[in-house]
Structure 1
Amino acid sequence: MFFITDAHAQAAGEMSGGALAQFLPFILMFVLLYFLMIRPQMKRQKEQKAMLAALKKGDEVATIGGVVGKITKTDDNFVTLEVARAAGQAVEMQFQRGAVQSILPMGSIK
């Protein structure tokens, strides 16, 4: 009878350690996923948000659709880009701020 009790006590101790060992790969995969995918994406979003907040008149930008132009007006939600000159007049297009993909170096547009 003493042998049966000892055997049950030993099996219970092994199960708790085995359960942790079973979940350890999932925990490690989540940590790896966080550092390789989630954290860099959050950093890119933060940089994009800061770039959009810093847009000002005179910046040369490229939009997500590939339109390149110089900012002539800014608003809380929209920017107006001068995309060309025709007959001495500026051709302007209005875009949402979120459509701006990047700020180009000054002098990029000829």
Structure 2
Amino acid sequence: MLISPAYAQAAAAPGGDMFVSILPLVLIFVVFYFLLIRPQQAKAKQQRQLIDNLKKGDQVLTSGGIIGKVTRVEDEKTIMVEIAQGVVVKVARATISDIVNKPVPANTSNDNAAKTGQKTAGGLFGRLFKK
């Protein structure tokens, strides 16, 4: 006989396959959240705090690369920045990318190591392997 008989097989369980197929998508979303979204939110929060804490006398760097000293905080959107003696420009607060003259903490491990002549282990691998 050339044709073989077809036998009925039991149906597969419907619930388990759907969970297994969705699991990789959920894992990819979790990885993206912790590697991309969460650090970006933290950076945006830090930038908002930096802009909110601007005060007269701060030396700032704009996103255009101009360095100047804050002479007056006008409102929540603009500040006046002196970029040269007698040259004051109005700048949007959102364009401030950094405060140049940040106060440095007095006791840091790198300062102590530099004073005592010890080498510090830099980077991730230096801390892991303690060279």
Q: Separation in 2 of the partners of 1:105 and 1:73? A: 17
For residues 6-85 of structure 1, the aligned pairs below 5 Å read 7-8=10-11, 11=12, 13=13, 15-75=14-74, 76-85=76-85
Partner of 2:101: 105
Q: Quick check: which one's strand share is greater? A: 1
Q: Separation in 2 of the partners of 1:67 and 1:58? A: 16
Partner of 2:126: none
Residue ranges of structure 1 left out of the alignment (5+ in a row):
none
TM normalised by structure 2 equals 0.68
Percent of matched pairs sharing the same residue: 36
**Letter of the aligned partner of 2:95 in structure 1?**
A
Q: Separation in 2 of the partners of 1:7 and 1:81? A: 78
* Residues 1-60 of structure 1, C-alpha deviations (whole Å, 9 max, x = no match): xxx6x823xx1x2x3111111111100000000000000000000000000000000000
TM normalised by structure 1 equals 0.81
Q: Determine helix, strand or coil for the equivalent of 1:7.
A: coil
Q: Separation in 2 of the partners of 1:104 and 1:66? A: 12
Q: Determine helix, strand or coil for the equivalent of 2:10.
A: helix
Q: Determine helix, strand or coil for the equivalent of 1:61.
A: strand
Report deviation, 1:66. Answer: 0.4
Residue ranges of structure 2 left out of the alignment (5+ in a row):
1-7, 103-131
For CA contacts below 8 A with separation 6 or more, give which structure has more relative contact order: 1
Q: Quick check: which one's helix share is greater? A: 1
Q: Separation in 1 of the partners of 2:66 and 2:79? A: 13
Q: What root-mean-square deviation, in Å, do the aligned CA atoms of Structure 1 and Structure 2 show?
A: 1.6
